């Protein structure tokens, strides 16, 4: 059972990745890995190649991208979407999610952060 590793896109506060690392969760942000201004498709592909669950506030685009991937038989390592919320809430929900799910259970899955 491998732990979830997160990748926060440009819509998520960069501080989320920093806060997750403080509680021993593997996380990186778009600016940290030099992926600013990349397309949503490119970000999801990169996250999947790196074995990371993508976290975003861009609900509409990534929900549609998730559906397209499934329809086309493509895979990803998971997507977590949310409406805008305070940094502390994002970190708490991701911490809780990572304690209940592993990387395998997140494969090809779309999760709404508010559920956690």
Q: Using CA atoms, how far apart are residues 70 and 73, in angstroms rounded to an integer? A: 5
pLDDT of residue 99 exceeding 80, the answer is: yes
Supply the Cα-derived Rg of the chain in whole angstroms.
Answer: 13
* Residue environment code for 7-42, b if the CB has 16+ CB neighbours within 10 A, otherwise e: bbbbbbbeebbbbbeeeebbbbbbeeeebeeeebee
- Eight-state DSSP code of residue 73: T
How far out from the chain centre does Cα 82 lie? 10
Of the pLDDT bands very low, low, confident and very high (cuts 50, 70, 90), residue 1 is confident
pLDDT at residue 86, as a whole number: 95
Tokens representing 101 are 């799910």
Place of tokens 């395998």: 104
pLDDT digits (tens, 9 = 90+) for 18-68: 999 999 999 999 999 998 999 999 999 999 999 999 999 999 999 999 999
The total of other beta-carbon atoms located within 10 Å of residue 1's CB is 7
pLDDT digits (tens, 9 = 90+) for 67-98: 999 999 999 999 999 999 999 999 999 999 99
pLDDT at residue 107, as a whole number: 97
pLDDT of residue 101 exceeding 80, the answer is: yes
Cα of first residue to Cα of last residue in the chain, in angstroms, is 20
Domains of the chain: 6-115 (3.40.50)
């Amino acid at each position: 059972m491998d732990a979830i590793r997160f990748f926060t896109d440009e819509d998520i506060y960069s501080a989320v990745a920093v806060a997750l690392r403080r509680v021993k969760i593997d996380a990186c942000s778009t600016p940290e890995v030099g992926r600013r201004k990349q397309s949503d498709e490119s970000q999801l592909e990169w996250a999947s190649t790196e074995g990371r669950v993508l976290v975003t506030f861009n609900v509409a685009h990534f929900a549609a991208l998730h559906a397209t991937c499934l329809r086309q038989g493509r895979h990803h390592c998971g997507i977590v979407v949310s409406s805008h919320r305070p940094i502390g809430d994002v970190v708490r929900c991701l911490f809780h999610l990572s304690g209940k799910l592993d990387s395998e259970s997140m494969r090809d899955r779309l999760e709404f952060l508010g559920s956690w």
